[in-house]
Amino acid sequence: MPDYISALDLFTIGIGPSSSHTVGPMRAALLFAEAVNAEGKLTQTHRVSVKLFGSLGATGPGHGTTNAIVAGLNGQTPETCNPDDVLVSWDKAINTSSIAILNHKISFEEKDFSFQPLIRLPKHSNGLRFSALDENQEALVEQTYYSVGGGFVEADHPISKPTRGEVPYPFISADQLLEICLKENKTIAEIAFANEIALHGEEQLVSKLEAIWNAMKLCIEEGLKTKGVLPGYLAVDRRAADMAEQLSVVQDPSEVSNEWLQAYAIAVNEQNASGRRVVTAPTNGAAGIIPAVAYWAMKFKGVDSSVIARDYLLTAAAIGSLYKRNASISGAEAGCQGEVGSACSMAAAGLAAVLGGSVPQIENAAEIAMEHNLGLTCDPVGGFVQMPCIERNAIASGTAVSAVRLSLLGDGSHKISLDTVIETMRQTGLDMSSKYKETSLGGLAVNVVEC
Ligand code: SF4
């Protein structure tokens, strides 16, 4: 794990409904297709077998994994794919009995994908094993990948990654980050900005941060005007658009600013549940919180959009990198505290920063926000990223704002550090039964009657 995790890796423009079950598997499938091609085995490949282990095997279809893998094998990426095409990939493969590995068409049967929810590979709960088979069903290339949360992918073999320069301010803990800020007399956003420039150059960094913030805004605005029913047999009604209609007629919008905050989060998560374009922040299941709090700050606190695209996102990402590095942002690994809890903490840090909080107040806001998400389990009903996920983002957005209010009323001094809370989240995740880690085998997922 590098000492510095870039904001541009934590916030990526992709598609719903899940970073670990949709975005990561699509990237893994593309990496596999490219490996088959690189080994000169593409034209000999007759079939591809895909095994989905652990959490991917348990909730894969509900989380859009099968669509994502077929699209990834075909050469599509989460950043550039057409969400409409991805949504029909699996059905199209079944109907035509064929898929394409890059531009090479091969035969396909539903049984080429197998689901192994009870087998957990040693490295991570979200395992995928791909085999390219020749006409005699002999394996030509076989590779195992892991979708480790937030769209990040690891493998049993080395994956080539772009080489990046050193950052001027590496940090692996909140304590270190605070020390650097104090010593350099800089904000967290300024430290992160210097690091990111070293990795990407200023021009690319600024344009990508703007693109990320624009994609977040667009997702909220599209979600607020889209009515209908979410995909899947649960037939969950979309409600952000109805909420927006009701709130729009209130004469003084500031009276209902909290309700707007919730509508923004629900809008994003309904877009996500529908497989639309969303920003992984830091995951898709928790994708509503960071955009909603930012949009709320812009609308109700007068924070300039350009400040959000820089200071808010960079501060949130600096805190997110600590969760990714020192605990987990994967629901399959740490439960929902790793997804919604991390996003809530990141949003609180970003909001505290753009509202003028000091570095200790920002750290305090991030700490408060996670402290009250500790132990949050993951139990999506039916394996869909809908219940409790959508409402949970709305509630966590309010928690982030409350955490900032509390922190800004103090001077930043507090007893429990952010590092302590992150470590507690990691330990709680280890102790959590696998029933509550994106398997849909416990909690609401088994107590809600599906009809
Ligand atoms: S319950 Fe939380 S971790 Fe689980 S799928 Fe929903 S948002 Fe993700």
Domain parsing of the chain, residue ranges:
18-155, 174-447
| Regions in the chain scoring below 70 on pLDDT | 1-3, 449-451
Q: Ligand 1: distance of its center to the CA of 335 in Å?
A: 7
Pairwise CA distance, residues 441 & 383, whole Å: 9
Q: What integer pLDDT is reported at residue 375 of this predicted model? A: 98
Pairwise CA distance, residues 65 & 52, whole Å: 9
The strand ranges marked E within 117-218 are 127-133, 139-149, 152-155
Pairwise CA distance, residues 333 & 101, whole Å: 30
Q: Ligand 1: distance of its center to the CA of 95 in Å?
A: 31
| Cβ neighbours around 446 below 10 Å, total | 13
DSSP 423-449: HHHHHHHHHS-GGGSSSSSSTHHHHSP
Q: What integer pLDDT is reported at residue 306 of this predicted model? A: 98
Q: What integer pLDDT is reported at residue 451 of this predicted model? A: 44
Q: Ligand 1: distance of its center to the CA of 385 in Å?
A: 6
Question: Which residue among 280, 336, 441 is best mutated to probe the pocket of ligand 1, counting the most ligand atoms within 8 A of its Cβ?
Answer: 336
Residue with CA at minimum distance from ligand 1 atom 6: 389
Q: Ligand 1: distance of its center to the CA of 386 in Å?
A: 8
Report the nearest atom of ligand 1 relative to the CA of 338.
3
Q: Which of 267, 254, 261 is nearest to 294 (CA)?
A: 261
Q: Ligand 1: distance of its center to the CA of 330 in Å?
A: 9
Residue with CA at minimum distance from ligand 1 atom 2: 336
Residue with CA at minimum distance from ligand 1 atom 4: 378
Q: What integer pLDDT is reported at residue 276 of this predicted model? A: 96
Residue with CA at minimum distance from ligand 1 atom 1: 378
Query: Please, are residues 320 and 286 in contact by the beta-carbon 8 Å criterion?
Result: no
Q: What integer pLDDT is reported at residue 450 of this predicted model? A: 46
Q: Ligand 1: distance of its center to the CA of 379 in Å?
A: 7
Pairing between β-strand 113-116 and β-strand 47-53 as defined by DSSP bridges: parallel
Q: What integer pLDDT is reported at residue 161 of this predicted model? A: 77
Q: Which protein residues are within 6 Å of ligand 1, measured from CB?
A: 285-286, 331, 336, 339-340, 378, 380, 385, 388-389, 392, 438
Q: Ligand 1: distance of its center to the CA of 357 in Å?
A: 30
Query: Please, are residues 223 and 287 in contact by the beta-carbon 8 Å criterion?
Result: no
The CATH number corresponding to 18-155 among 3.40.50.300, 3.30.1330.90, 3.20.20.80, 1.10.287.3510 equals 3.30.1330.90
Q: Which of 323, 281, 316 is nearest to 173 (CA)?
A: 323
Q: Which of 335, 323, 286, 327 is nearest to 433 (CA)?
A: 335
Residue with CA at minimum distance from ligand 1 atom 8: 285
Report the nearest atom of ligand 1 relative to the CA of 286.
7
Q: What integer pLDDT is reported at residue 441 of this predicted model? A: 86
Question: Which residue among 337, 389, 392, 393 is best mutated to probe the pocket of ligand 1, counting the most ligand atoms within 8 A of its Cβ?
Answer: 389
Gyration radius from the chain CA atoms:
21
Q: Which of 321, 312, 357, 281 is nearest to 171 (CA)?
A: 321
Q: Ligand 1: distance of its center to the CA of 380 in Å?
A: 6
Q: Ligand 1: distance of its center to the CA of 331 in Å?
A: 6
**pTM recorded for the entire structure:** 0.94
Report the nearest atom of ligand 1 relative to the CA of 63.
5
